Chains A and B, each alone.
Chain A
Amino acid sequence: MCKRLTAPLVSLLLGAALIMVNHPAAAEVLVVVSAEAPFTRLTSSDLRDIYLGRRTLIANGVQVVPLDQTEGTAARSEFYIHYTGQTPAQIKAHWARQIFTGRGQPPQALTNSRAVVERLVRDAKALGYIDPSFLDERLRVVTIE
């Protein structure tokens, strides 16, 4: 009896999990900071402003240094499409407007999630996004509200 119920239940759960994974709204990157960082929450407009270079300080005057992943990486595209609603090309055009009007340079770009993790654990001010498989106890996931 029990066994007869379990099989459909398992397939139902698996199905639900698959739907969640394939759901376009679900990000496949995690926004993370060092476990030592003074914040674990950001509003989505804070996150967008930080990555677009419009602000470097969040509430209580906490300084945040964003880290990028190299152009052309899947993590980068997913991060920008999900959290800023803009394609990599739009982000590139945005930075062209900033650079060539003397308003600053884009965030430092690191080659992959591993490099981002290495930087985050050394710098409590740094903010990054990584592939979930690189998450470990030295990091904390930032809740985006």
Chain B
Amino acid sequence: MVRQATWLCAILIVTQSGVLLADSTLPNLEFNGFGTLGVVHSDERNADFVADPFASEGAGYSHDWSAEVDSRLGLQATLRMTPQLSSVLQIVSEKRYDGSFAPDIEWANVQYDITPNLSFRVGRMMQSSFMSSEHRKVNYATPWIRPPQEVYRLIPVANFDGVDVRYRYRSGSATSELQLNFGGGSADYQTGSVDASDSWGVSHRTHWGDTTLFASYGELKVSADELSQFFDAYRLFGLPGEQLASRYEVDGKRTSLLSLGVGYDPGSWFVMGEWARSSSPSLLGDSEGAYMTFGYRIAEWTPYVGVARAKVTSNTSEPGLNAALYPSPFAEGAQLLNGVLNELISSGMQQESITLGARWDFRPGMAFTAQYDRIDMRSESSGGLINQQPEFTPGGRINLFSLALDFVF
């Protein structure tokens, strides 16, 4: 419903403002694009490493060297209709849940600048949950081959359909931007879809000299069809089943996300770090992630090193239903449900990683990056790997080697 209203509103603004064309250089249409050609190798043969948890396959099990983890192409049209009114459409092609590289709409919105410092947008936008969320797919604009997953995986549904308001202001020599957003979004995966509704967020970013400070807080309601069916099955087991279902079910509950970030970049070197926590009174549980990256610039070269950590702070096991209390076949059913429930609540990312890389800005708008990651998964954790085979043992260590050519135009 919110989504339909959003689109209707966007269309109205565009059609109603056609009469305002005045400036001779307007309307103005700009085309830009970005992309990455990347390959990655994982030494874990029994599961796939992926950058996007909704992708169908990645590196390790499906491919020795995968070109599908990081490669993507984005094209954007920016239309400025009047000095106050503009519109952005961005299409991105990357590996999808169904195995295709089908293009999808990443951004599609209309922006109205009420004043030069106050803008209102309606349509599809990217959540500003983390410091680099809004440009997380533009690898050229970030130092790494992919944003540290220990933080950026906390909220995998990145774009939403809704509204946002941005206000820029100055205090002393600092410039700040306050952003408020409201909307909903969804993401498809192989066997279903995850929806986020009634999501709202507020973020604040300050540039003060060489320092950037970032903070954001948001809440969303997550629902997934598959999980609803799973908890309906639990409810067949009387009161104990009801209690477990209401304790762990996801539908109707609010997940919150708090994040803080800091960056310092005096030119010849930089350091950036973020910390974030997501909390949900459901099987999604509570998780924390943090990273720190340090880089040094020598002419066209930028070597960098990073550390990151993710942990689940809520319980990762649950005794579940007491199977002994039920007659066959309910006893077996209870054991089956308990097994799935434990698998779900222990699947959160728990790991530490070290990243070493170097970026080479060999020509304007093009960079080549090589990166090595060593990921130590804590016991029982599968580190966000997908397509886990029966021989896969959680809690191991994986080594990743990645090469990427990033470009913008």
Contact = CB atoms under 8 A, between A and B. Distances in A.
Interface of A: 43, 45, 49, 54-57, 71-72, 85-90, 92-94, 96-97, 99-102, 105
Main secondary structure of the interface of B (DSSP, over half): strand
Contacts of A101: 126, 134-135
B267 A102 contact: no
Which of A54, A99, A100 counts the most B-chain CB atoms under 10 A from its CB? Answer: A100
Contact of B107 (A45, A54, A102): A102
Contacts, number: 76
A93 B141 contact: yes
B179 to A, nearest CB: 11
A54 B207 CA distance: 9
B32 interface: yes
Interface stretch (B167-175, B234-242, B304-312, B387-395): B167-175
A72 B121 CA distance: 34
A89 B121 contact: no
Contact of A89 (B109, B210, B364): B364
B252 interface: no
Contacts of B160: none
Interface of B: 30, 32, 34, 74, 76, 78, 86, 88, 90, 107, 109, 111, 116, 121, 125-126, 134-135, 137-138, 140-141, 168, 170, 173, 175, 207, 209-210, 266-267, 297, 300, 361, 364-365, 367, 408
A92 B121 contact: no
A41 to B, nearest CB: 15
Contact of A92 (B90, B170, B364): B364
A54 B168 contact: yes
B37 to A, nearest CB: 16
B104 to A, nearest CB: 15
A93 B138 CA distance: 9
A96 B135 contact: yes
A89 B141 contact: no
Contact of A45 (B111, B209, B365, B367): B209
A100 B34 contact: yes
B140 A93 contact: yes
A89 B367 contact: yes
Nearest to B407: A96
B106 to A, nearest CB: 9
B105 to A, nearest CB: 13
A45 B206 CA distance: 14
A42 B109 CA distance: 35
A45 B207 CA distance: 11
A55 B168 contact: yes
